Amino acid sequence: IGTNSLDERCNQILRNMEASLTARDRVGIQDFVLLDAYTSESAFLDNLRKRFHENLIYTYIGTLLVSVNPYKELDIYSKKQMDTYMGVNFFELPPHIYALADNVFRTMQSEFNNHFILISGESGAGKTEASKKILQFYAVSCPSTKLLNNVRDRLLLSNPVLEAFGNAKTLKNDNSSRFGKYMDIQFDHQGGAVGGHILSYLLEKSRVVHQNHGERNFHIFYQLVEGGEEDLLRWLGLERNCQHYSYLVQGGCAKVSSINDKSDWRMVQKALSVIEFNESDIEHLFGIIASVLHLGNIKFVADVRGYASLNNNQEMHWVSKLLGIPAQVLQQGLTHRKIEAKAEEVFSPFSVDHAVYARDALAKAIYGRTFNWLVNKINESLANKDSSRKTVIGLLDIYGFEVFNVNSFEQFCINYCNEKLQQLFIQLTLKSEQEEYEMEGIEWEPVPYFNNKIICDLVEEKHRGIISLLDEECLRPGEATDLTLLEKMEETIGGHPHFVTHKLADQKTRKTLERGDFRLLHYAGEVTYCVVGFLDKNNDLLYRNGKEVMRQSKNAIIKHCFPSTEPDSKRRPETVVTQFKSSLVGLTEILMSKEPWYVRCIKPNEAKQPGRFDDVLVRHQVKYLGLMEHLRVRRAGFAYRRKYDIFLQRYKPLCPDTWPNWKGTAAEGVRCLIKHLGYKPDEYKMGRSKIFIRHPRTLFATEDAFQVCKHKLATRIQAKYKGYRVKGDYQKQRDAATKIENCWRGIMARKEREKRAWAVKVIKKFIKGFITRNQPACNDNSEYLAYVRQNYLTRLRENLPKTVLEKDSWLTPPPIMKEVGDMFLTPAVYSRKSLVLKAQTSSMFKGKKENYPFSVCRPFVDTRIGKRYSVPVVKYDRNGFRPRLRQLIFTQEAAYLVEEAKIKQRIDYISLKGVSVSNLSDNFLILHVTCDDIKQKGDLVLQCDYLFEALTKLSVIANKQNYIKVVQGSVRFDIQPGREGFVDFKSGQESMVYRAKNGHLMVVSVKIIKGSC
């Protein structure tokens, strides 16, 4: 949770509040609860008027929204406005219908329960507009996905379709809803709008065939005639002229400036396609609408017997074509009624009046049933098939209280409905409020309010109520008329304080009543009803024949609306008013199970004019809407109440004693909590199960504190968690370090142990060597002896005698080196001459020939026979390389190769070109001689055990040090002049001399390892 975004949000709220605190918004009080003179109707009205003139049409009474119709477009419904109101506390911004909608939505989300918004007010007060605004707000504010957008579009577009078919211009409102509408919007647990359902109530069907002066039929007829494409009209047999249709001209105002039928038509077309109406549905639908117009134009003439007849009627043929009913059948149906007499069926002809009546009944039935079909069809498209639990916000936009100059059955039903809704409002607010205080044991000053139950009873009470009397008159045999109904009412309820007729009235009142009138004193005012037509409209009789004719229709919608399974009217169907009464009972049940919210709409003037505030008209509405009582209850009571456990659960982080857990009862916890928060005694009351908070601001302060605290808590939890994570990491690292340390120590200890074991072995060996030092060299003493030798030699190097001849000054060698010691003492060996020779040998061979180092310790002998130097050699024949034992003798002038006493070859030193030896451990030498003479023998290939000694001697005698070459690999020699031979040298496992395949002499020598001698 970013504190930044919180700050930003706070700033935004502040900015918005500042913006809204412009001079304009300071006008008046935003919430009537804050009105000082809260009991004064004038003060109430003043505030409302002040705000109205500043275009501030919304004002609160607590959470109830009062809305005054501005009769002009205000720039307060933009997307920006919606964003501003989203997720903001109720009282933080100026009152708005969006604030209410948002609050309902958020309460639903947090409490996961169902709600409804009751929009009431008289006709033209702005109910339908308000419900549209709410729907639009949800469409924008709810989470959106592609799927949800689909549902959203359908929810939004169901409106223009229903309005086209169910709304009409009346004297009160150019777009008056002529049916009641209750719409459920279903939300999933994430707040996405996932579906909807519409219930419609009592469409004013009589409008199809009759309109009062200044009123119109349902919009759709005009839209079709004005906006329908040429082709369509031709196909429907219609002309583009409303004046042509008798069902459209009775009010004398087919064209109205505030209504654009053409553009509305396009809107409806678009909407129909979005809510899944296919081509054939649309075709059938407009076939029906056109049929109704044609029906209205059907004229009957009286034949000779006075019966209705209809000859070659064009309009009738169009109906026949469009509804797919054989003309013959239709004609019969329009001019005759079917009577069942015992087993027989008899067709009895209508009089002209009767025929007109039957025709109108048919038109109304067709339109009414088609409207129901339309609602069902829309519901199918809005239905959410997913069965997971949804929460619901219901929107009730029902026809408002209506008073015309002449009021009939329709107004009676509409006003009865409003009476019922007022009763519901009273039950849900005023009464329940007081009851709750009583139940919670909280002191309560009773607020007097007018309970309209008495009027509801007057209308709907069993046996005695107007509805019962009306039904009775409709159903009883004999000659019942509207006037007999009036008499019956006078008889039964004549004494009722809210009922008056011409006969019952006093002198003064009588003047305002006609003979056929009765007057009801509704909660919203007096309404005089003209009793004419009550019975008829309540019966809503469609002759059985009419239904049968419709059943033959090929039009799919008509077929659906007049199913053959419908029970025949042997038993009378329920009367209209009874159906309406039960549908209102159903509605009340739906509403009672939900949390209520209210929008009370007020009409500022009768002229539909902007900026005109008619005090008398508004005062009247304020009165009958019960706004003053509501305000008084609000002021006397407490703005908010919450069950202790819910309140504690939410706000317990605000007090250290209740956080994180409270041990005692919830009530005690709340007491402790509010003490900590510093609630003043008059700000709250503790009930039996709930806390009551008087002012919204107290709760909002608490809520704000909670929001801040929530972020702090979140930060703390975050910090704790981070600490926990870091600690975990640290422990891991520490464990790893310990492990590595242990391993390392182990390695070091093992190394130490090995070292010690080695040392023990070495010491042991040393001791053993010492013990066995005098025994012949063996494994046990070899190292010790080597050490002794080395030690002796090291010492010797430092203590060499000054002269060679100082025999006694040589260090006494250890016993194993006795031999060497003797050698030192032999002067011959260390004669100067001999050392000079050794030095020469060294310069010739050191580092060049492998086996040189082993020759160092072998003393040279001066002579091996007599005065000359002689040495035994093996000579290899030049041809075939056969070895032969010979003696090599060096004299002053020449070298001789001698066998026994026979000189085999003489080599003058002058003719000695050079001597080659290998660099390996063999003892071969090759004497290269110059041979000019072909008879002379070639080079000599010899092997000599005293190689170094012999060559050193030779080099000294012949003075030919530089002649001696140490070569690698191979030596070329002359077998005889012009013929060459080769000796190849290499190292091997075993020393060998042999003639190789290539004719070379191969000499393999074993590499002598240093120290093995």
Ligand X SMILES: Nc1ncnc2c1ncn2[C@@H]1O[C@H](COP(=O)(O)OP(=O)(O)O)[C@@H](O)[C@H]1O
Give CA–CA dist 521/505, Å, rounded. 13
Pick from 411, 400, 629, 617: which is nearest to 520 by CA?
411
Does the annotation place 128 within a ligand binding site? yes
Does the annotation place 639 within a ligand binding site? no
Per rule CB under 6 A, is residue 200 in the interface with ligand X?
Answer: no
Does the annotation place 126 within a ligand binding site? yes
**With DSSP H G I counted as helix, E B as strand and the rest as coil, what are the percentages for the chain, rounded to 5?**
50, 15, 35
Give CA–CA dist 217/523, Å, rounded. 29
| Residue 952 site contact among Mg ion, ligand X, none (CB < 5 to 8 Å, cut-off depends on kind) | none
| Residue 129 site contact among Mg ion, ligand X, none (CB < 5 to 8 Å, cut-off depends on kind) | ligand X
Q: Which residues contact 571 (CB under 8 A, 6 or more apart)?
A: none
State the catalytic residue, choosing from 47, 63, 159, 173: 173
Per rule CB under 5 A, is residue 177 in the interface with Mg ion?
Answer: yes
Does the annotation place 834 within a ligand binding site? no
Tokens 């777009």 — which residue?
175
Shortest Å distance, C-beta 178 to Mg ion: 9
| Catalytic residue status for 214 | no
| Residue 74 site contact among ligand X, Mg ion, none (CB < 5 to 8 Å, cut-off depends on kind) | ligand X
- Mapped onto helix, strand or coil, the DSSP state of residue 380 is helix
Contact between residue 418 and residue 484 where contact means Cβ atoms under 8 Å apart? no
- What strands lie across the sheet with 58-61, from one edge to the other? 58-61, 64-68, 595-602, 115-120, 391-397, 180-187, 193-201
- Using the Cα atoms of residue 947, residue 949, residue 954 and residue 959 in order, give the sign of their dihedral: positive
Nearer to ligand X, 174 or 433 (CB): 174
Pick from 71, 63, 66, 59: which is nearest to 102 by CA?
63
**Which of 73, 445, 589, 798 touches ligand X by CB under 6 A?**
73
| Catalytic residue status for 870 | no
State the catalytic residue, choosing from 63, 69, 84, 123: 123
Does the annotation place 122 within a ligand binding site? yes
Does the annotation place 746 within a ligand binding site? no
Footprint (CB under 6 A) of ligand X, residues 119-138: 121, 123-129
Q: Tell me 344's DSSP state.
A: E
Pick from 630, 635, 603: which is nearest to 619 by CA?
603
| Number of residues near ligand X (by CB under 6 A) | 21
State the catalytic residue, choosing from 47, 103, 176, 851: 176
State the catalytic residue, choosing from 368, 400, 769, 938: 400
Does the annotation place 3 within a ligand binding site? no
| Residue 123 site contact among ligand X, Mg ion, none (CB < 5 to 8 Å, cut-off depends on kind) | ligand X
Nearer to Mg ion, 128 or 223 (CB): 128
Pick from 327, 318, 329: which is nearest to 295 by CA?
318
Per rule CB under 6 A, is residue 175 in the interface with ligand X?
Answer: yes
Nearer to Mg ion, 177 or 528 (CB): 177
| Catalytic residue status for 123 | yes
Footprint (CB under 6 A) of ligand X, residues 574-613: 601
Shortest Å distance, C-beta 369 to ligand X: 24
Per rule CB under 6 A, is residue 69 in the interface with ligand X?
Answer: yes
Q: Which strand (E) or helix (H) includes residue 726? A: helix 696-771
Instruction: Find the angle CA(520)-CA(522)-CA(525) to the nearest 5 degrees.
Output: 100
| Cα–Cα distances in angstroms (integers) from residue 1003 to residues 7, 249, 366, 561, 992, in the given order | 99, 140, 131, 126, 6
| Catalytic residue status for 124 | yes
Segment contacting ligand X by CB under 6 A, of 116-124, 672-680, 836-844, 855-863: 116-124
**Which of 47, 114, 136, 176 touches ligand X by CB under 6 A?**
176
Nearer to ligand X, 177 or 698 (CB): 177
| Catalytic residue status for 1012 | no
Segment contacting ligand X by CB under 6 A, of 173-181, 784-792, 831-839, 928-936: 173-181
Shortest Å distance, C-beta 637 to ligand X: 29
| Catalytic residue status for 400 | yes
Per rule CB under 6 A, is residue 496 in the interface with ligand X?
Answer: no
Nearer to ligand X, 177 or 407 (CB): 177
- The CA R_g of the chain, rounded to the nearest whole Å, is 64
Binding pattern for the stretch 113-142 against Mg ion, x by CB under 5 A and - elsewhere: --------------xx--------------
| Catalytic residue status for 177 | yes
Per rule CB under 6 A, is residue 706 in the interface with ligand X?
Answer: no
- Mapped onto helix, strand or coil, the DSSP state of residue 517 is strand
Contact between residue 274 and residue 153 where contact means Cβ atoms under 8 Å apart? yes
Give CA–CA dist 547/718, Å, rounded. 73
- Closest-approach residue to ligand X (CB): 126
Contact between residue 193 and residue 139 where contact means Cβ atoms under 8 Å apart? yes
State the catalytic residue, choosing from 124, 166, 465, 669: 124
Q: Which residues contact 304 (CB under 8 A, 6 or more apart)?
A: none
Segment contacting Mg ion by CB under 5 A, of 173-181, 241-249, 332-340, 626-634: 173-181
Nearer to ligand X, 222 or 852 (CB): 222
Give CA–CA dist 484/469, Å, rounded. 10
Q: Which residues contact 1004 (CB under 8 A, 6 or more apart)?
A: 922, 986, 987, 988, 990, 991, 992, 993
Give CA–CA dist 879/976, Å, rounded. 10
Nearer to ligand X, 401 or 784 (CB): 401
Residue list, annotated binding site: 121-128
Residues classed as catalytic: 123-124, 128, 173, 176-177, 400, 402
Binding site for Mg ion (CB under 5 A): 127-128, 177
Residue list, annotated binding site for ATP: 121-128
Binding site for ligand X (CB under 6 A): 69-74, 121, 123-129, 173-177, 400, 601
